Structure 1
Amino acid sequence: MRRRTKIIATLGPSSENLISSLKDKVDIFRVNLAHGDTESHSKYFELIKTQAPTSSILVDLPGPKLRVGDIGKVELRAGQEILFSMNEGIVVQEPLFYRSVRPGSEILLADGIIKVRVTEVSNDQVKAIVETSGILTSRKGINIPDMVLETGLTDNDFRLMDEALSLGADYIGLSFVLSENDVIKAKSKIQGRAWVISKIEKSQAVQRLFRIVEESDGVMVARGDLGVEIGLENLPYIQRKIIRTSKLLGKPVILATQVLESMVNSPLPSRAEVIDVANSVYQGVDAIMLSDETAAGHYPVEAVQYLDEIITSSEDKVKPLRPSPMRSPDDAIAYAALSLSELSRSDFIAVHSRSGMSVIRVSRLRPKATILAFTPDPSVARKLKLCWGVVPLSIEENVGDLNELVSILDKKCRELGVKGNVVMVAGDPKMESGRTNLLKLHSIDSSLYP
Structure 2
Amino acid sequence: MIVSETNKEILCTLGPASLDERTIMRLTDLGATLFRINLSHTAINEVAPTVGLIQKFTDVPVCLDTEGAQIRTGKFVQGQVELNEHTVVRLSVSQVPGDAYRFNLYPRDIVRDLQIGDFISIDFASALVQVIDFEDAAGDYCAVARVLHGGPVGSNKAVTVDRDIVLPPLTDKDIAAISEGRAVGVEHFALSFANRISDVKAIRKVAGGGTTIISKIETLDALANLKEIADESDALLIDRGDLSRQVPIERIPALQKSIISTAKGMGAKIYVATNLLESMVTAPTPTRAEVNDIYNTLSDGADGLVLAAETAIGEFPVHCMGMVVKVTQNFEQGNDADQILPFAEPVSLLPDPHGGTLKTRDFVEHGDFDASELVKVEIRDTDLLDCEQLASGTFSPLSGFMDRETLESVLDNCSLPNGAVWTLPIILQVAPDVAQGLGKDRKVQLVDSSGVPRALLDIAEVSEIDLGDIALRWFGTSSTEHPGVAKFLDKGNYILAGDIQLIDPMPSPFRHYLLSPTQTRFLFAHKGWSRVVGFHTRNVAHRVHQFIQTESLTRTGADGLFISPVIGPKKPNDFLPGPIMKSYQLLLEFGRYEAGRVMLGGFATYSRYCGPREAVFTALCRKNMGCSHFIVGRDHTGVGDFYGPDENRAIFDRLGDIGIAPVFFEAIGFDETKQSYVLQNDEAATRPISGTEARQSLISGERLPDWYMEDIVQDMLLEQISDDKPVFYS
**C-alpha distance after superposition, 1:153-180 (max 9, x if no partner):** 3443333222222222231111111211
SS of equivalent residue, structure 2 residue 35: strand
2:184 equivalent to 1:179: no
Determine the C-alpha separation between the residues in 1 that align with 2:295 and 2:109: 39
Q: 2:91 aligns with which of 84, 90, 107?
A: 84
In structure 1, the residue matched to 2:257 is 240
Greater RCO (Cα-Cα under 8 Å, separation 6 or more): 1
> Does 1:281 find its partner at 2:298?
yes
Q: Which residue of 1 aligns with 2:52?
A: 46
Q: TM-score, normalised by structure 2?
A: 0.42
Tell me the residue number matched to 1:105. 118
Instruction: Specify whether residues 276 and 100 from structure 1 end up closer, same or farther in structure 2 by C-alpha distance, changes over 3 A only.
Output: farther
**Equivalent residue in structure 2 for 1:66, among 67, 71, 76:** 71
Percent of pairs identical after alignment? 30
- Who wins on radius of gyration, i.e. which is larger? 2
- Residue 297 of structure 1 corresponds to 314
Counterpart secondary structure, 1:135: strand
Q: Give aligned pairs, total.
A: 319
1:202 CA displacement: 1.6
Amino acid at match of 1:132: H
Q: SS of 2:195's equivalent?
A: coil
Aligned amino acid, residue 49 of structure 1:
Q
TM-score by length of 1: 0.67
Contact 2:129/2:145 (<8 A) preserved: yes
CA, structure 1 residues 298+161, in 2 after alignment: closer, same or farther (shift >3 Å)? same
Q: Which residue of 2 aligns with 1:11?
A: 14
Cα offsets for 1:178-232 (capped at 9, x unmatched) = 2111112322333332111111112111111111111111111011211102222
CA 1:133 to 1:150, structure 2 compared with 1: closer, same or farther past 3 Å?
closer
Cα deviation, residue 127, structure 1: 2.2
1:118 aligned counterpart, secondary structure: strand
How far off its partner does 1:150 sit? 5.6
- In the alignment, the residues of structure 2 paired with residue 113 and residue 167 of structure 1 have an alpha-carbon distance, to the nearest angstrom, of 39
Partner of residue 373, structure 2: none
Task: Name which of structure 1's ranges 83-92 and 170-179 shifts more when overlaid on structure 2.
Answer: 83-92
1:36 partnered with 2:42:
yes
Q: Residue 113 of structure 2 aligns to which amino acid in structure 1?
A: S
Distance in 2 of aligned mates of 1:111 and 1:93: 16
Find the partner of 2:177 among 148, 160, 164.
160
Runs of 4+ in 1 over 6 A off after TM superposition: none
Give, in whole Å, the separation in 1 of the partners of 2:89 and 2:288.
37
Aligned positions of 1:352-367 closer than 5 A: none
Match of 1:23 among 5, 18, 28: 28
Contact 1:143–1:225, Cα closer than 8 Å, also in 2 = no
**In structure 2, do the counterparts of structure 1 residues 38 and 175 end up closer, same or farther at CA, with 3 Å as the change threshold?**
same
The 5 A counterparts of 1:208-219 are 208-219=225-236
Match for 1:106: what amino acid?
F
- Runs of 5+ in structure 1 lacking a partner? 320-415, 417-450
Which one-letter code corresponds to 2:223 in the other structure?
Answer: V
Residue matched to 2:165 = 148
1:372 match: none
Q: Does 1:317 align with 2:334?
A: yes
The answer to whether the Cα contact below 8 Å between 1:184 and 1:215 also exists between their aligned partners in 2 is: yes
Counterparts in 2 of 1:201 and 1:68: CA distance versus 1, 3 Å: same
Partner secondary structure for residue 276 of structure 2? coil
Q: Answer with 203-212 or 261-270: which moved more.
A: 261-270
User: How has the CA–CA distance of structure 1 residues 76 and 12 changed in structure 2, closer, same or farther, with 3 Å as cutoff?
Assistant: same
Query: Match for 1:68: what amino acid?
Result: T
Q: Bigger CA drift: 247-256 or 236-245?
A: 236-245
**Using a 3 Å threshold, how does the CA distance of structure 1 residues 121 and 225 change in structure 2: closer, same or farther?**
farther
Question: Which residue in the other structure is 1:118 paired with?
Answer: 131
Q: Deviations over 1:412-442 (max 9, x none)?
A: xxxx9xxxxxxxxxxxxxxxxxxxxxxxxxx
| Structure-2 separation of matches of 1:224 and 1:122 | 33
SS at match of 1:197: strand
- After TM superposition, give the deviation of residue 13 of structure 1 in Å: 0.6
CA–CA distance in structure 2, aligned partners of residues 81 and 185 of structure 1? 39
2:665 aligned partner: none
Instruction: Find the aligned partners of 1:233 and 1:103 in 2 and give their Cα distance.
Output: 30
Equivalent pair of 2:68/2:168 in contact (CA under 8 Å)? no
SS at match of 1:317: coil
Q: 1:83 to 1:318 in 2, by over 3 A?
A: farther
3-state SS in 2 of match to 1:310? helix
SS at match of 2:148: strand
CA gap 1:98/1:27 in 2 versus in 1, 3 angstroms: same
Q: Which amino acid aligns with 2:12?
A: A
User: Given the alignment of the two structures, is residue 203 of structure 1 paired with residue 224 of structure 2, yes or no?
Assistant: no
**How far has the Cα of 1:6 moved from its partner?**
1.4
Please point out which of 167, 191, 206 is paired with 1:189.
206
